[in-house]
């Protein structure tokens, strides 16, 4: 059965001389493995460009019962243009790696799909400090869709953030998974920023990497261990 699908590309590996296997996220079916023809012709190059990590596209999927890998054809990009900024491309790779690891065995989720498509569009437009903070904002906002959002209603100036309990507390928790009041405040600020306002948060590379490490630790506590992704090293080196 041929079905139209709206997708976000996560990862692609060469399967043979004539085909590659891509892992994608689709609005209609959730996580999918699809087969796409390989080659060096103009159409193959166009398709690869569209299906770069975190690329958004529409296509026709041949869905058949009992088949783990579906065929994909008529791949068309969503929105205008591809990511050309090298820093934005590195962030796109990280986001795709993160989703590849996080969305294991996940079924369709329309709200999550809309968020990912919106994020991909925003990444193409992000510049300067907003681009530098983009992946941090993404990790916070993704937590909402995965059901592990920190309880920002408990925030007050001077409080600690208990990462295990996912809420703000008045005294240091009796474990190491906590943020002191200064870093807890930074998390609260990050939770309130999006779009153009994301560039208002000023961080140097060390601070940004510390926040990334804390976000990955938080996901490890509440969802899955995601701190060994191959693209993390590249993201850490950006925006000095």
Question: Domain ranges in the chain?
Answer: 2-77, 126-237
How many Cβ atoms are within 10 Å of 141's Cβ, its own excluded? 16
pLDDT for position 208: 92
Residues 2-77, CATH architecture: Beta Barrel (2.40)
pLDDT score at 104: 86
Q: For residue range 123-159, list pLDDT tens digits in order.
A: 999 999 999 999 999 999 999 999 999 999 999 999 9
Question: Please, which residues have CB within 8 angstroms of residue 126's CB and are 6 or more apart in sequence?
Answer: 88, 134, 198
pLDDT of residue 106: 78
Q: Are 192 and 155 in contact (CB under 8 A)?
A: no
CB distance 99 to 26 below 8 Å: no
Please give the chain's pLDDT, 240 residues, in tens. Answer: 889 999 999 998 887 777 789 999 999 999 999 988 777 778 878 888 889 999 999 999 988 887 888 888 899 999 877 788 899 999 999 999 999 999 987 789 999 999 999 999 999 999 999 999 999 999 999 999 999 999 999 999 999 999 999 999 999 999 999 999 999 999 999 999 887 788 888 888 899 999 999 999 999 999 887 777 888 888 888 875
Please check whether residue 101 is in contact with residue 31, taking contact to mean a CB–CB distance below 8 angstroms. no
Distance of alpha carbon 35 from alpha carbon 33, whole angstroms:
7
Task: Tell me what pLDDT residue 49 has.
Answer: 86
At residue 212, the pLDDT reads 94
Bridge partners, residue 35, by sequence: 21, 71
Please indicate, yes or no, whether the overall pTM of this predicted structure exceeds 0.95: no
pLDDT of the residue at 174:
94
Contacts 24+ apart (CB under 8 A), 207-210: 208/132, 208/133, 208/136, 208/239, 209/236, 210/183
Distance of CA 65 to the CA centre of its chain: 29
């Amino acid at each position: 059965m041929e079905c139209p699908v709206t997708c976000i590309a996560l990862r692609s590996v060469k399967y043979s001389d004539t085909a590659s296997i891509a892992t994608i996220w689709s609005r209609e079916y959730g996580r999918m493995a699809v087969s796409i023809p390989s080659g060096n012709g103009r159409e193959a190059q166009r398709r690869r460009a569209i299906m770069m990590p975190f690329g958004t596209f529409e296509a026709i999927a041949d869905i058949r019962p009992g088949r783990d890998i579906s065929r994909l054809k008529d791949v068309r990009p969503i929105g205008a243009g591809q990511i050309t900024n090298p820093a934005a491309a590195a962030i796109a790779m990280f986001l795709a790696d993160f989703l590849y690891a996080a969305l294991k065995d996940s079924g369709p989720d329309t709200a999550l799909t809309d968020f990912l498509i919106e994020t991909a569009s925003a990444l193409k437009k992000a510049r300067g400090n907003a681009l530098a903070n983009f992946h941090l904002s993404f990790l916070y906002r993704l937590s909402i869709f995965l059901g592990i959002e920190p309880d920002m209603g408990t925030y007050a100036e001077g409080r600690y953030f208990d990462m295990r309990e996912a809420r703000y507390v008045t005294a240091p928790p009796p474990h190491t998974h906590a943020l002191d009041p200064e870093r807890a405040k930074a998390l609260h600020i990050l939770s309130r920023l999006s779009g153009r306002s994301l560039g208002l948060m000023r961080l140097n590379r060390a601070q940004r990497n510390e926040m990334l490490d804390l976000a990955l630790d938080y996901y490890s506590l509440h969802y899955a261990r995601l701190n060994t992704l191959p693209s993390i090293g590249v993201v850490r080196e950006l925006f000095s």
